[in-house]
Amino acid sequence: MIEFAVCLPVFLLITMGTIETCRMIYLRQSLKIAAYECARLAVVPGITPADLQDQCDVILLGRNIKNYALNCTPSDPSSLDYGEMFVSTVDAPASENALLSTWIYGSASVSESVSIMIEY
């Protein structure tokens, strides 16, 4: 019983740390996928900023990511010419997307961005 009482908190700490680390990896990957899909969509003719936001919503709401923000440079992809770069950035607060404890991350934010060149 003594060994169990001593080892259980250590095993729980390792387990909770692993779960939280995996959640942050999941968050980063989800943001990267959303940024990529928005950048890929931005090169299609006739796409509006609302279409990009809808694409981001579909991906991130489906993955249960909270309080994210999509930022595009330039904000309207239809203004780009051949050879110009489009950058989509997706940000989300780490503490609001953590599974276990929000005090670990404080006010930290996770951000992912993708750049793509207009080809036509």
The pTM of the full predicted model, rounded to 2 decimals, is 0.86
The C-alpha atoms of residue 85 and residue 69 are separated, in whole angstroms, by: 20
How many other CB atoms are found less than 10 A from the CB of residue 72?
Answer: 21
Domain boundaries, the chain: 2-117
Number of H helices, E strands in the chain: 2, 3
CA nearest to 92, candidates 75, 113, 116, 73: 113
Q: Is the pLDDT of residue 101 over 70?
A: no
Q: Where are the beta strands (DSSP E) in 28-101?
A: 69-73, 85-93
Q: Note the pLDDT tens digit of each residue in 8-59.
A: 999 999 998 899 889 999 999 999 999 999 999 998 888 899 999 999 999 9
